[in-house]
Structure 1
Amino acid sequence: MELYIKHISKQFKDLTAVNDITLQITPGVWGLLGANGAGKTTLMRMIAGIMKPTSGQILYDGIPIHELKESFRDVFGYLPQEFGFYPEFTVKDYLEYIAVLKGLTPKDSKRKINELLEQMTLSHVKNKKITKLSGGMKRRVGIAQALLNEPEVLILDEPTSGLDPGERVRFRNLLSEFAHDRIVLISTHIVSDVEYIATQNAVMKEGKLLAKGTTEELVKLVEGKVWSARIPMNRLPEYEQKLQIVNIRNEDNGQIAIRYLAGRPFTEDSLPVSPHLEDLYLWLFPTDTVSKKTFSGKND
């Protein structure tokens, strides 16, 4: 089983949203990382067959997906950033409707819907209109519809948006188990969603593929660039102007511990620390707000 994205590009007038991406995706969880505007959603829409590439091909087991047509959609599941539904639909109505569109038999439909309602903790709201649900519950309904046909290829665009931390942990565990013999591609800018479950990660920036590899391989790109130090609290504004601070923790005696990214140590007592995938993300996608992290209870 292989999904081969072969030199895919997408041009919108003067904007190149996806620029010559090539990926050979095999079974397991794949993380597609990048800031907003990196081209992740455009790439996923092309994989889903919703949007045609300007150039290049997407093949499933060696056959272009536009030639496979219905046979590819039969083994495909997709959760877009925003999924549509009729306002009058209850959760159960919606899942039954999607099951019909996906060609499930009444028996399989009933079994799978009940299973997913339980897995997504939606059984207690199955007769409630989707419009009345919280953002997190709506997202869980979207995840459920993507899993209805037990797809061989599952594409999820920002799937954990709106989910609380406990729901995200349960969802990650579900995906990890589901991806044993299937392809699961998760587009996200929430690095923790894929850091520990992804078989491989691909990093996009401005439409291009910057890097690809396992989490262990990718974090090596920022080895020697992640540091910890203790500084006086009253000097924090000064350090924030000069450093990319990613974490801050209160210490005793008016001191604070900082974790920061830099090509070399900024203070004599700075110590190198083991990088995480989030460190790579913040190194590649620095923002003006990165140094303004809220105080947290831990720092490595």
Structure 2
Amino acid sequence: MNITIHNVEQVYRNNSHALYPVHLEFHEGVYGLLGPNGAGKSTLMNILTMAKKPTSGTVYCNGVDINTIQNEYKSRIGYLPQTFGLFPALSGREFLMYVAALKGLSKRHAAGRIQELLSVLNLNEVGDQHIASYSGGMRQRISIAQACLTIPSFCCWMNPRWDSIPTNG
């Protein structure tokens, strides 16, 4: 999967720019988006995940405007923002089923994938407990699980702090 961001710009009503024209190309893989506060990271990610339409420019997936293939595109994107809105009253499993439904996964497929992710992320024993009872690390892992539900071809994480970049090992 290739994603091309072609001259994407975001200008607000007061004529302030959240993004100046951006042109980037990404190939299948995992990417991190780093930068200082106000650099436009969240705006760009909102555009890439189709939560926001750019003022101008186009995002292409394999050469096709993402607006023409919304469902297929969204099912192939994994996104882990710096903070992810979890629902503390739900169990980890219930939360992942909810996100799976939003991503269009069948209940049968979602249940199997969720079990696999809970196991891989060492959350099996707490999968049926309320997220409110989770430690910070467990909350991060359940957030990772939601980003990986659809086995994305393209995955992004955001962290504005250069000193906390994940490393291999």
Pairwise TM-score range, normalised by the shorter structure: 0.7 to 0.9
For residue 10 of structure 2, what is the aligned residue in structure 1?
Answer: 10
For residue 107 of structure 1, what is the aligned residue in structure 2?
Answer: 108
1:190 aligns with 2:162: yes
- Cα offset for 1:189? 2.8
SS of the residue 2:72 aligns to: helix
For residue 89 of structure 2, what is the aligned residue in structure 1?
Answer: 88
Distance (whole Å) between structure 2 residues aligned to residue 102 and residue 135 of structure 1: 25
Distance (whole Å) between structure 2 residues aligned to residue 70 and residue 110 of structure 1: 20
Q: Is the Cα–Cα contact under 8 Å of residues 32 and 40 in structure 1 kept in the other structure?
A: yes
- Cα offset for 1:58? 0.7
Of 29-38 and 45-54, the range deviating more from structure 2? 29-38
Q: Is the Cα–Cα contact under 8 Å of residues 32 and 158 in structure 2 kept in the other structure?
A: no
Which residue identity does 1:98 align to in structure 2?
V
TM-score (norm 2): 0.86
- Cα offset for 1:153? 2.1
Q: Is the Cα–Cα contact under 8 Å of residues 91 and 130 in structure 2 kept in the other structure?
A: yes
Could you give the per-residue CA deviations for residues 188-246 of structure 1, whole angstroms, max 9, x where no partner exists?
Answer: 4335636669xxxxxxxxxxxxxxxxxxxxxxxxxxxxxxxxxxxxxxxxxxxxxxxxx
Would you tell me which structure has more strand in proportion to its own residues?
1
For residue 153 of structure 2, what is the aligned residue in structure 1?
Answer: 152
SS of the residue 1:5 aligns to: strand
Q: Identity across aligned pairs (percent)? A: 35
- Cα offset for 1:136? 2.5
Distance (whole Å) between structure 2 residues aligned to residue 137 and residue 195 of structure 1: 19
Q: Is the Cα–Cα contact under 8 Å of residues 31 and 194 in structure 1 kept in the other structure?
A: no
- Cα offset for 1:101? 2.5
TM-score (norm 1): 0.51
The 1:127/1:81 distance shift into structure 2, 3 A limit, reads same
Q: Is the Cα–Cα contact under 8 Å of residues 79 and 155 in structure 1 kept in the other structure?
A: yes
- Cα offset for 1:36? 2.0
Q: Name which one, 1 or 2, has greater alpha-carbon Rg.
A: 1
Distance (whole Å) between structure 1 residues aligned to residue 153 and residue 135 of structure 2: 29
SS of the residue 1:35 aligns to: coil
Q: Is the Cα–Cα contact under 8 Å of residues 33 and 191 in structure 1 kept in the other structure?
A: no
Aligned length: 168
- Within a 5 Å distance, the mapping from 1:198-277 to structure 2 comes to none
Which residue identity does 1:190 align to in structure 2?
W
- Cα offset for 1:140? 1.4
Q: Is the Cα–Cα contact under 8 Å of residues 33 and 156 in structure 2 kept in the other structure?
A: no
SS of the residue 2:37 aligns to: coil
Q: Is the Cα–Cα contact under 8 Å of residues 29 and 155 in structure 2 kept in the other structure?
A: no
Could you give the per-residue CA deviations for residues 95-151 of structure 1, whole angstroms, max 9, x where no partner exists?
Answer: 122222223233322221122112222122112211222233212111101101111
Distance (whole Å) between structure 1 residues aligned to residue 135 and residue 39 of structure 2: 28
- Cα offset for 1:16? 1.1
1:70 aligns with 2:71: yes
The 1:112/1:80 distance shift into structure 2, 3 A limit, reads same
Greater relative CO (CA pairs within 8 A, separation 6+): 2
> Unpaired runs of 5+ in structure 2?
none
Which residue identity does 1:77 align to in structure 2?
G
Could you give the per-residue CA deviations for residues 233-271 of structure 1, whole angstroms, max 9, x where no partner exists?
Answer: xxxxxxxxxxxxxxxxxxxxxxxxxxxxxxxxxxxxxxx
The 1:69/1:125 distance shift into structure 2, 3 A limit, reads same
